Structure 1
Amino acid sequence: MACIYALIRKSSPEEYRYIGKTAYETPNKRFKGHKNNAVSGDSAPVYRWMRKYNDVEVIIIEDRLSKEESSIKEKYYIHLFRSQGHRLLNVSEGGDGSPGRVLSKASREKISNKLKGKSLSLEHRKNISTGQTGRKISEKTKKKISQSLKNHPRLIASGKKNKGKKHTEEARRKISEAKTGKPATEKQLLHLARLAKLNREKAKN
């Protein structure tokens, strides 16, 4: 079974810098290959980045995928995270491992349409939420994540910086009515999973 993984820095775990796929159940062997390529002097952007920082690590985005599913999902996540502002170092749109190959607009729409409307399974949401299980996050890192979310332009634009302010009963009713029957998007679920993880960490302290 294949899986989709991301390379991040321990000092800024809220940002994905590279998305990849591997035919193995975990990305550990593939990550070892990435490190070997970086040490050998490979000039690809991701390896230049890895040589610059010594706190790069790998996390699983989604696992238990067939080879065909992993190709589609790799393209999907590269497109998704780039649209969210992650500075990905991938030189291709993913899927076939051909550096420099960029998908046409029609191909990107086909991938998007194929995945559109599909709700993430509970297991998938849990996997994203606990993708860094086993690695204790320091207080310094928690503060960086919290500060990053607090000053995030998307959160400011959407009014989420008003978190903590109480709504009136009428306002709560209108919000509830507006959301009734609307399925959460992939982007919303990913965001909620991350917020849930942050809330759990805060509750422990």
Structure 2
Amino acid sequence: MIAAEVPEVVGVVYGIRLRLSAEFRYVGITTKGARRRFLQHLRNARDGRKTPFYDWLRKHGRAELVVDVLETITGDLAELGKAECLWISQLREAGHDLLNLSEGGLGPTGVVWTDAQREAARIRSTDRPGVSRPGDLNPFFGHSHTDEQRQTWSESRRGTNVGPDNPNFGRFGPDHPSFGRVLSAESRRLLSEGRTGPLNPNFGKTASSETRALQSAAQKGVPKPSSVRSAHTRYHTNKGVVSPICKFCRESAVSDENSSESEKQ
């Protein structure tokens, strides 16, 4: 007998209310568990996030609040988003005074600010001290992202801000926002120390035999002087400098002497 395949749970629809009330004030969705998402909401409220829902959360203690799982969704994320929209619609029709700013669903909230709202927000935020949590006050202090997470970010950002998509594309000289900026000696020192020795991501690494073979094949047949010869031309010949430890300077001196002797004869 073949056991029936159990559909995979993709997330839940949850509702938040007061413990002594049956009226829900907020409906949301999550793939991480309702309780975990509830704790994130409480943390956002403590950090001062400004929405009607978070303003309401700050008025009540944690013991006064309850999070209920309204529905467990199987299938895919699209079904999860549809379920949230349905619950918000049904609860509002039933008279629940929800504090959701949108009708739910995946993606952007769907709330489009008017010019007046944007101007009011700009005025409110002017000279407002931000929430700064430096050093050990930051919850991520002492931690580092995994290699897998870094790789995920690298792949997701690859190809972005390239060419015309870059906001500084085609901007040179005074038109570029970084024009005229010079790093201070202290900044240069810190950058140097941050990439010295074991702090350098390439510290202790050597190119594999395969990489060396590919590099050699790519350069094969390309006419160019050696790097030492190029350095001699750039820093000695072009500047009229003679170095006693440079073999090309010595060869040049011998060649000049031979030329002088030939002219005398």
Which structure carries more helix by proportion?
A: 1
Flag the structure with more relative contact order, 1 or 2, with Cα contacts below 8 A and sequence separation at least 6.
1
